[in-house]
Amino acid sequence: MISGALRQIPNAITVARLVLVAPTAYCLLRGNYQLALVLMAVAGASDAVDGWLARRFDWTSRFGAALDPVADKLLVGVVFIVLTVQGHLPWWLVAIVVGRDAVILAGAGIYRLLFKHVELVPTFISKANTAMQIVLLLLFLLMLCELPLVSGWARLVIFPYGVWLVALLGVVSGLDYVVTWSRRAIRQARARRGAHS
């Protein structure tokens, strides 16, 4: 009983990260960047913690594997969109961030329709992309908090290096998914034709 409950800890952390999306967005819309920074930092740390617990103690589950990237992308996407609407981030950057995820989601849906099963395993470059998005947003919130010295340093890192790095990783990781899964679909289609011939 206790062992079964412990196995749910990573899932509980992931659900908590999902719950943080709404208050983080609310704080941003209200201009409370300090609290938004705290919530974003907690969410970012929880992403590392739940993944480590799942791997370290073999507390993995299909539910967690499916929900974890959803929680990450929803939080990151909402923060990017709000900051863009407020005029802090360029529209083309949020187009890359959100567009990449939309393309991957649509591709996964099509693949599932065609071949009944899809298991998206994040690649190294995909993980690096998500990590850099979170780092950029944390730096951006630091900048908006207008803290002495720290905010100025954050601005120097963000413009232009952070913005362009996130854009580059978004494009490259998106293309990596498209190419990888297109090849996999072609192989599956050929195998299916071979089985029916």
pLDDT at 30 (0 to 100): 95
CA distances in angstroms from 89 to 11, 104, 109, 120, listed in the order given: 32, 23, 30, 29
pLDDT band, residue 141 (cuts 50/70/90) = very high
What are 154's two structure tokens?
């954050």
Do 24 and 39 contact (CB within 8 A), yes or no? yes
Which of 132, 138, 123, 142 lies closest to 165, judged by CA?
Answer: 132
Q: pLDDT tens across 161-186, in order?
A: 899 999 999 999 999 988 988 888 88
Instruction: Indicate the SS3 state at residue 115.
Output: helix
145 or 6, higher pLDDT: 145
Respond yes or no on whether the N-terminal peptide bond of residue 160 is cis (omega within 30° of 0). Answer: yes
pLDDT band, residue 2 (cuts 50/70/90) = low
pLDDT at 133 (0 to 100): 94
Query: Among the listed ranges 57-61, 106-110, 115-119, 147-151, which one has the minimum average pLDDT value?
Result: 115-119
Instruction: Indicate the SS3 state at residue 45.
Output: helix
Contacts of 53-60 spanning 24+ positions with Cβ under 8 A: 53/9, 53/10, 53/13, 54/10, 57/6, 57/7, 59/6, 59/7, 59/8, 59/9, 59/10, 60/10
Do 18 and 74 contact (CB within 8 A), yes or no? yes
- Using the predicted structure, report yes or no on whether residue 44 has a pLDDT greater than 60: yes
Cα 65 from Cα 14, distance rounded (Å): 10
- Using the predicted structure, report yes or no on whether residue 122 has a pLDDT greater than 80: no
Do 44 and 138 contact (CB within 8 A), yes or no? yes
Do 189 and 182 contact (CB within 8 A), yes or no? no
CA distances in angstroms from 84 to 2, 3, 66, 71, 193, listed in the order given: 45, 44, 28, 20, 47
- Using the predicted structure, report yes or no on whether residue 38 has a pLDDT greater than 90: yes
Q: pLDDT tens across 46-71, in order?
A: 888 888 888 888 888 877 777 888 88
Cα 24 from Cα 140, distance rounded (Å): 14
pLDDT at 181 (0 to 100): 85
pLDDT band, residue 98 (cuts 50/70/90) = very high
- Using the predicted structure, report yes or no on whether residue 191 has a pLDDT greater than 70: yes
Q: Mean pLDDT, to the nearest integer, of 101-126?
A: 82
Cα 85 from Cα 79, distance rounded (Å): 10
Give the domain range for residue 49.
Answer: 2-196
**Domain total in the chain:** 1
159 or 170, higher pLDDT: 170
- Using the predicted structure, report yes or no on whether residue 108 has a pLDDT greater than 60: yes
pLDDT at 120 (0 to 100): 67
